[in-house]
């Protein structure tokens, strides 16, 4: 059986009513252990070494499958009885599972396990099939009568080596260090039908990599939004911990327009859109007020809520504000929850406080299996995920099946009555959203869990441009043609477009010529500019590509928007427009090119920039280079001695680099510490290029 490294606790209350699965993974020869990613201290939790192992193997990927890490016990006498004792005592242990491996074709011995003062029981490790020893496997000890106490194990190896990777203890109590879950658990809402009047909710983001929830409104931290707080999510983001400063009460009311939802904080104030205080008119406001209706804003404390099976919620305000959609915004690293006119940010998710009506009632729990988005880069895409099924008060094992079993499949049809790992796999041949239902049954107790997969295709820039606004899309390989602040211009063989990095989070260190893979975001035609607002990180590689502009002799057309172009030997008019032959090219100073402020209408220039739409199709220059190459044209205005340039008529001298950045300025400037290269000198309306 494939071993599950993830840990999931169904519920843990002060009285031990529910089965708990605690998996300890070892990471050194002294039996140091982790639960999930949490490294234990071997004082309050973990294991105390009775005899160290011979060493520790970190494991590696092999052609046969994944070889896990593990503590090595050899057949040498010095390592017989290598093992450890748990720091914690466990109550009513029913099963202990050891995950182990051997070498490829050798390895046998015995694992001894003892609970408290009970007699030790043994599990024999037999020689593996030839070539199969490195593949990890589980071996279980099921106790006929539940036992309580500390767990002790040790290993006697009689041939070659045995590697112990982890110990899983299934008991009525468990480790207190199970990550992401506490005695007060909020569970993800996957249907609006699960919402009831009086529910306590936390508003979070189930599909987001950032661990934030919506805090309570605070006059010092919130302005026209509600600030976000850190919280701890479970690994599958199905649950999160209690944060008292983020709990809202849900109220379900009725109106002429049908039932509505309202959210109040601990002081009884309502969450409202469009300001709350009628003295404020900012339509993007999300704040609190003491009523849910006002003559100015309408029903600004009433909300419509719908929830997708993956937990993403549409929370839409009924007030008069156009910005009425509650969303999460990372906001350049200062995360907020606010209202927006369109679904341009991350949809929130609702987490409902768990209530147990009858603690002795049979219960099955399994997390929703949401594979998220996978990319169809070939004819078929496949994968798998292992979840943990937990249960309590069952007398029979749990049968598992899928309602459709078309795209998805299961690795088994029957699991233990206290729960066990279950692997769900998929194989898809086309783009689309695939949904199935996992059905778990034990006598009359049943649980139905959604299984969701979104299959998307990598798009060329040309294909992305055909999408509807705000469509999530995934780009094929693109190359950076220009990076400036939040603007990343990219191209492929089919065209060019703009990546907009609103917080300069994802592309901060990008350079021209870098190759990007895994670009994802929401497409929008931004006033004529094809643009993707980035929603996640991507892979950037610097392969030393040199990007060459397209040389134009005419005004750019709509097919060249966001592309990198060059004009040679052109002039500017007094309005700042560029003249290419008989055509006029409007200039938009997107890149703050300082050389544009010193243009001589009588001179000729080479200009490079990006085609951009600002009212009309424009050129956004980042390089403006004069074609004049010596100082003779300015000799009457300059005196050059010992690398010092002085003005003869007391005018200001400015030296720029070829990107238009000012390097020196004054009536007397030095060239002495400038490196070799090309520079532009400007005096009054005259510019010339010099080479040092």
pLDDT tens digits along 621-673: 999 988 764 454 455 567 776 678 887 777 888 888 877 788 888 888 887 77
Count of CB atoms situated within 10 Å of the CB of 48: 14
- What does the alpha-carbon distance between residue 2 and residue 568 come to, in Å, rounded to a whole number? 65
- What does the alpha-carbon distance between residue 16 and residue 8 come to, in Å, rounded to a whole number? 16
SS (H, E, C) 636-656: HHEEEECCEEEECCCCCEEEE
Residue 337 has pLDDT above 70, yes or no: yes
Smallest CA-to-CA distance from 553 within 539, 530, 570, 529 is with 570
Smallest CA-to-CA distance from 265 within 196, 217, 301 is with 217
DSSP state of 635: G
For 45, 231, 572, 574, 628, the CA distances from 606, given in Å and listed in that order, are 70, 54, 11, 17, 10
β partners of residue 410 = 424
Residue 9 has pLDDT above 60, yes or no: no
Q: Is the CATH number 2.40.70.10 carried by domain 20-171?
A: no
DSSP state of 294: B
Q: Which CATH architecture has domain 364-456?
A: Sandwich (2.60)
Which CATH superfamily is 550-626 part of? Nucleic acid-binding proteins (2.40.50.140)
3-class SS of residue 333: helix
Residue 462 has pLDDT above 80, yes or no: yes
CA 253, 257, 258, 264 torsion: positive or negative?
Answer: negative
Q: Where are the beta strands (DSSP E) in 487-549?
A: 487-492, 495-500, 515-517, 520-526, 529-534, 539-541
298-313 b/e with 16+ CB inside 10 Å = b? bbbbbbbbebbbbbbb
pLDDT category at 279 given cuts 50, 70, 90 is: very low
Predicted pLDDT at 628: 61
341-378 b/e with 16+ CB inside 10 Å = b? eeeebbbbbbbbeeeeeeeeebbbbbbbbbbeeebbee
Contact 222, 277 (CB under 8 A): no
Predicted pLDDT at 355: 67
Compute CA 356 distance to the chain's CA centroid, rounded to the nearest angstrom. Answer: 32
Predicted pLDDT at 389: 86
Residue 6 has pLDDT above 60, yes or no: no
- What does the alpha-carbon distance between residue 212 and residue 330 come to, in Å, rounded to a whole number? 9
| Out of 183-197, 310-324, 588-602, 636-650, least confident range | 636-650
Residue 180 has pLDDT above 60, yes or no: no
Predicted pLDDT at 166: 94
The residue with greater pLDDT, 649 or 399, is 399
Listed by start position, the domains of the chain span 20-171, 185-353, 364-456, 462-541, 550-626, 632-691
Q: Would you say the CATH fold of 364-456 matches that of 185-353?
A: no
The token pair that represents 203 in the structure block: 């508003």
- What does the alpha-carbon distance between residue 327 and residue 337 come to, in Å, rounded to a whole number? 6
Contact 345, 337 (CB under 8 A): no
Q: ∠ at Cα 372 (367, 373), nearest 5°? A: 170
CA 511, 513, 514, 519 torsion: positive or negative?
Answer: positive
Q: What percent of the chain has pLDDT over 70?
A: 89
Domain 462-541 has what CATH class?
A: mainly beta
Q: What is the mean pLDDT of the chain?
A: 86
Count of CB atoms situated within 10 Å of the CB of 254: 8
Q: What percent of the chain has pLDDT over 90?
A: 54
Predicted pLDDT at 443: 93
Domain 185-353 has what CATH class?
A: mainly beta
- What does the alpha-carbon distance between residue 565 and residue 552 come to, in Å, rounded to a whole number? 7
Predicted pLDDT at 5: 26
In terms of Cβ atoms closer than 10 Å to its own Cβ (0-12, 13-18, 19+), residue 513 is middle
Contact 21, 388 (CB under 8 A): yes
Q: What does residue 361 show for φ and ψ, rounded to 5 degrees? A: -75, 140
What pTM was computed for the model?
Answer: 0.65
Q: What does residue 246 show for φ and ψ, rounded to 5 degrees? A: -135, 10
């Amino acid at each position: 059986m494939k071993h599950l490294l993830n840990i999931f606790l169904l519920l843990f209350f002060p009285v031990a009513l529910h089965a708990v699965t605690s998996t300890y993974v070892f990471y050194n020869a002294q039996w140091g252990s982790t639960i999930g990613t949490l490294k234990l201290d071997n004082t309050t939790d973990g294991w105390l070494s009775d005899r160290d192992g011979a060493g520790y193997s970190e494991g590696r990927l092999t052609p046969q499958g994944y070889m896990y890490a593990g503590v090595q016990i050899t057949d040498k006498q010095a390592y017989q009885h290598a093992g450890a004792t748990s720091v914690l005592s466990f109550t009513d242990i029913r099963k202990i599972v050891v995950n182990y491996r051997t070498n490829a074709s050798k390895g046998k011995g015995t694992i001894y396990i003892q609970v408290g003062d009970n007699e030790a029981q043994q599990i024999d490790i037999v020689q593996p099939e030839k070539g199969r020893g490195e593949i990890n496997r589980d071996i279980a000890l099921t106790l006929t009568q539940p036992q309580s106490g500390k767990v002790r194990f040790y290993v006697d190896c009689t041939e070659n080596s045995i590697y112990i990777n982890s110990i899983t203890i299934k008991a009525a109590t468990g480790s207190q260090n199970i990550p992401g879950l506490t005695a007060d658990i909020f569970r993800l809402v996957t249907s609006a039908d699960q919402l009831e009047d009086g529910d306590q909710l936390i508003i979070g983001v189930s599909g987001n990599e950032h661990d934030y929830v919506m805090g309570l409104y605070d006059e010092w931290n919130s302005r026209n939004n509600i600030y976000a707080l850190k919280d701890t999510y479970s690994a599958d983001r199905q649950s999160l911990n209690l944060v008292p400063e983020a709990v809202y009460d849900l109220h379900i009311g009725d109106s002429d327009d049908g039932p509505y939802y309202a959210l109040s904080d601990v002081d009884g104030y309502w969450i409202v859109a469009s300001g709350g205080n009628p003295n404020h008119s900012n339509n993007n406001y999300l704040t609190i007020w003491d009523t849910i209706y006002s003559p100015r804003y309408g029903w600004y404390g009433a909300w419509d809520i719908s929830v997708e099976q993956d937990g993403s919620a549409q929370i839409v305000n009924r007030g008069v504000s156009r910005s009425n959609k509650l969303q999460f915004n990372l906001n350049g690293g200062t995360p907020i929850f606010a209202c927006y006119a369109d679904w341009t940010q991350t949809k929130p998710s609702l987490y409902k406080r768990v209530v147990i009506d009858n603690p002795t009632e049979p219960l099955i729990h399994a997390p929703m299996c949401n594979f998220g988005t996978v990319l169809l880069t070939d004819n078929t895409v496949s994968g798998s995920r292992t979840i943990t099924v937990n249960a309590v008060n069952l007398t029979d094992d749990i049968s598992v099946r899928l309602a459709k079993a078309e795209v998805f499949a299961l690795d088994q049809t029957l699991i233990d009555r206290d729960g066990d790992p279950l692997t769900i796999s998929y194989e898809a041949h086309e783009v689309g959203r695939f949904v199935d239902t996992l059905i778990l049954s034990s006598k009359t107790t049943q649980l139905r869990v959604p299984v969701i997969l979104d299959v998307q295709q990598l798009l060329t820039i040309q294909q992305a441009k055909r999408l509807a606004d705000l469509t999530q899309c995934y780009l094929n390989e693109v190359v950076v043609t220009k990076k400036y602040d939040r603007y990343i211009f990219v191209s492929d063989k089919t065209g060019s477009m703009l990546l907009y990095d609103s917080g300069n989070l994802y592309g901060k260190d990008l350079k021209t010529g870098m190759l990007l893979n895994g670009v994802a975001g929401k497409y929008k035609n931004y006033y004529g500019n094809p643009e993707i607002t980035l929603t996640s990180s991507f892979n950037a590689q610097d392969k030393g590509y040199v990007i060459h502009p397209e040389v134009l002799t005419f005004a750019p057309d709509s097919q060249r928007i966001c592309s990198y172009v060059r004009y040679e030997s052109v002039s500017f008019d007094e309005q700042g427009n560029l003249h290419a032959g008989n055509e006029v090219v409007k200039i938009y100073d997107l890149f703050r090119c300082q050389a544009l402020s010193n243009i001589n209408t009588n001179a000729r220039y080479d200009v490079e920039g990006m085609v951009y739409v600002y009212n009309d199709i424009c050129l956004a220059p980042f390089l403006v280079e004069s074609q004049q190459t010596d100082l003779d044209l300015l000799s009457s205005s300059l005196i050059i001695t010992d690398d010092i340039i002085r003005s003869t008529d007391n005018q200001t001298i400015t030296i720029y680099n070829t990107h238009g950045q000012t390097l020196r300025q004054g009536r007397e400037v030095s060239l002495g510490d400038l490196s070799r290269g090309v520079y532009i000198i400007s005096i009054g309306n005259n510019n010339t290029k010099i080479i040092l």
